[in-house]
Amino acid sequence: MPRMNMVQALNSAMDIMLDRDQNVVLIGQDIGYFGGVFRCTDGLQRKYGEHRVIDAPIAEGGIVGSAIGMGVNGLRPVAEIQFADYIYPGCDQIISELARLRYRTAGDFYAPVTIRTPCGGGIRGGQTHSQSPEGIFTHLCGVKVVMPSNPYDAKGLLIAAIEDDDPVIFFEPKRIYNGPFDGEPDKPAVPWSNHEKGEVPSDYYTIPIGRADVVREGEEVTMLCYGTMVHVCLAAAQAMDVDAEVIDLRTLSPLDVETIRQSVEKTGRCVVVHEATRFSGYGAELAATVQETCFYSLEAPILRVTGWDTPYPHAFEWDYFPTKKRVSKALEDVLELA
């Protein structure tokens, strides 16, 4: 089986879809000739042409707006927003249009647009290259929100997203583009090549949108996480020698509540981990859902480990990031709580 990092896996997904479906087009800043600032679209313009892999002006609103129009005209656009921090100029087209077109036309019009965008910190990017704005988009109805944690899932989910007739916001945790990261900044970087999820079939396959993945089974506590935090949670569970069940949500909306329910009913404890700011973030929904669904099984309050409610700082990024240490302490806390 070929080994791929996440960038290569995403590239492979788009390559396959450009090849299988001539209605698939890519549009975004620097994605064409250059192949993208993270190289996710490397080589695709050469292979499929300038009218299939399109370099766009620096106007996120124009990228999303024109992608909607293309979608309405039968194409399946995959738009790249260069950093998730720059998605906001496209917010109106996403929120007011993309998410609601099918509803407001009773299904007569829809735009099967996928929006790919790298998110998350830990790369010394400061407050404008580190954000995780998923909590804004999970609040919308009419779009699906996905965030993979490894190359294998990334490819299967991206293909599923492109094939999906609903719009999908596809967040790519850039910290783990090249290798898994367990939340210990001082350890040397490791590549995906030694990781089992770095084994990626070169052919077409999909991972269904809407299904979480139990990446570690356990009895003592349920850890809900996604993206980079999956690796941090796994490392913390191991370091603390806790029998934790780690659920990689993969799709944030619609949420796979059933998988969560089964786990928390078994463990009775739950820790929610994400990198985004805490207040009114996506972790709040997870906590709210868990207490609604599993109230009578809960033995302790659901704890959240998240970015602080400040912008992402350049200097103290490892105090901001939910590191292995922070997650480990939360595990200890939740287990000590009666």
Partner 1 sequence: MSRKPRLHIPPAPARPGADPDFSYIDIVEAGSVPRPDPHTRLREIPNSLIFDMVRVLDDAHAPVGPWDPQLDPEELQAGLRFMLETRLYDDHMLRMHRQGKISFYMKSRGEEAVSVAAAMALRPGDMLFPSYRNQGLQISRGRNLADLMNQCLSNSADMCKGRQMPIMYHWRRGNIFSISGNLTTQYPQAVGWAMAAAIKGEDDIAASWIGEGSSAEADFHHAMTFAAVYMAPVVLNIVNNQYAISTFQGTAGGERRPFAARGPGYGIPGIRVDGNDFLAVYAATTWAAERARAGTGPTLIEHVTYRVDAHSTSDDPSRYRSKAEPQAWPLGDPVERLKAHMIKFGQWSESRHEALVAEITEQVASAWEEACSYGTMAEGPFLDKNELFEDVYRDMPTHLIQQREQMLEVDRWGEEN
Ligand X SMILES: Cc1ncc(C[n+]2csc(CCOP(=O)(O)OP(=O)(O)O)c2C)c(N)n1
Contacts with a second copy, residue ranges (CB under 8 A): 61, 85, 88-89, 91-92, 95-96, 100, 103-104, 127-128, 135-136, 138-142, 253, 255, 276-277, 279-285, 287-289, 291-292, 295-296, 298, 300-304, 309-311, 338
CB of 132 to a second copy, least distance (A): 11
Q: Which does 180 bind (CB under 5 to 8 A by kind): ligand X, partner 1, a second copy, none?
A: none
Stretch that binds partner 1, among 121-129, 149-157, 175-183, 197-205 (CB under 8 A): 121-129
Which one-letter amino acid corresponds to residue 69?
G
Question: Residue 147 in contact with residue 168, Cβ under 8 Å?
Answer: no
Alpha-carbon dihedral 84, 86, 89, 94, rounded to 10 degrees: -10
Question: Residue 249 in contact with residue 256, Cβ under 8 Å?
Answer: yes
Strand order in the sheet with 251-253: 53-55, 24-28, 76-80, 114-119, 168-173, 144-146, 251-253
Q: Which does 291 bind (CB under 5 to 8 A by kind): a second copy, partner 1, ligand X, none?
A: a second copy
Q: Which of residues 6-65 bind partner 1 (CB under 8 A)?
A: 22-23, 25, 29-30, 32-35, 37, 49-52, 54-62, 65
Residue 102, interface with partner 1 (CB under 8 A)? yes
CB of 144 to partner 1, least distance (A): 8
CB of 331 to ligand X, least distance (A): 37
Interaction pattern, residues 47-76, with ligand X; x per rule: CB under 6 A: -----------x------------------
Pairing of strands 114-119, 76-80: parallel
* Comparison of 193 and 310: residue with beta carbon closer to a second copy: 310
* Comparison of 97 and 172: residue with beta carbon closer to a second copy: 97
Within its chain, how far is the Cα of 72 from the centroid? 26
When binding is defined by CB under 8 A, the residue of 46, 103, 187, 208 that contacts partner 1 is: 103
CB atoms within 10 A of CB 87: 24
CA–CA separation, 40 and 55 (whole Å): 14
The single residue of 129, 195, 231, 274 carrying the catalytic annotation is 129
Q: Total binding residues for partner 1 by CB under 8 A?
A: 86
Interaction pattern, residues 88-117, with ligand X; x per rule: CB under 6 A: -x----------------------------
Stretch that binds ligand X, among 4-12, 82-90, 112-120, 232-240 (CB under 6 A): 82-90
* Comparison of 144 and 155: residue with beta carbon closer to partner 1: 144
Strand-pair partners of 271: 223, 303
Closest CA to 245 of 229, 228, 264: 264
Residue 150, interface with ligand X (CB under 6 A)? no
Whether omega before 254 lies within 30 degrees of 0, making that bond cis, reads yes
Q: Which residue is nearest to ligand X (CB)?
A: 86
φ and ψ of 32, to 5 deg: -85, -100
* Comparison of 92 and 217: residue with beta carbon closer to a second copy: 92
Interaction pattern, residues 124-143, with partner 1; x per rule: CB under 8 A: xxxxxx-----------xx-
Which position has the token pair 């995780």?
132
| 139 has catalytic annotation | no
Q: Which does 21 bind (CB under 5 to 8 A by kind): a second copy, partner 1, ligand X, none?
A: none
Element (H, E) at 285: helix 282-294
Question: Residue 168 in contact with residue 144, Cβ under 8 Å?
Answer: yes
Residue 82, interface with ligand X (CB under 6 A)? yes
DSSP 8-state class, residue 21: -
Q: Which token pair is 20?
A: 């299988």
- Kindly report the CA angle at 309 between 336 and 324, in degrees rounded to 5? 45
Strand-pair partners of 307: 277
Helix (H, G, I), strand (E, B) or coil at 326: helix
Residues annotated catalytic, as ranges: 129
